[in-house]
Amino acid sequence: MAHLTWIDSSRDETWLAGLRAAVLLLRSGQPVLMRTTAAAGEPYLAVRGLPDTAEAWLRHRGVALADGSAFPEDGLRELRAPAAAVFGGAGSPYNHASALAALGVPWFYVTGPDIAAGALRHADVLVVPGGG
């Protein structure tokens, strides 16, 4: 079994860099795992067989990583790269789209007619801005 590297995305100062790293790794074809049994404050994202060059690249960009032996490997589930649809028919979708872009999540706008035509088959999540 290949070496496991944990992405520390469990603290206020590490979560954005950690989640962005996980999305970028997924989009590049690198398997990323989520530990569903992680306790509060423990890393819950891991990469198996992370190449040394990718590890150095992540560390250089401020992503906190921990050795795989530091945490148990129970409850691991493989993730896949997400895609989001942002409803653009009402509300103000720009902040939501900006947050998705900051995480590296591919997104696209949809309207009511787009949804009726089946556009959501290309999305894992539908973001519907609202409030105000």
Residues 89 and 122 in one domain: yes
Residue 10 vs residue 52, higher pLDDT = 52
Q: Is 132 contained in some domain?
A: no
Q: Angle 105-110-114 (CA atoms, 0-180°, nearest 5)? A: 135
Residue 13 vs residue 88, higher pLDDT = 88
Digit-coded pLDDT (tens) for 58-99: 999 888 888 777 777 888 999 988 899 999 876 677 888 888
- d(Cα 111, Cα 87) in Å, to the nearest integer? 6
- The domain boundary residue, chosen from 78, 96, 118: 78
Residues 70 and 93 in one domain: no
Q: Is 94 contained in some domain?
A: yes
pLDDT at position 8 = 81
Domain extent, residue 120, equals: 84-127
Torsion (CA) 15, 20, 21, 22 in degrees, nearest 10? 90
Number of domains in the chain: 2
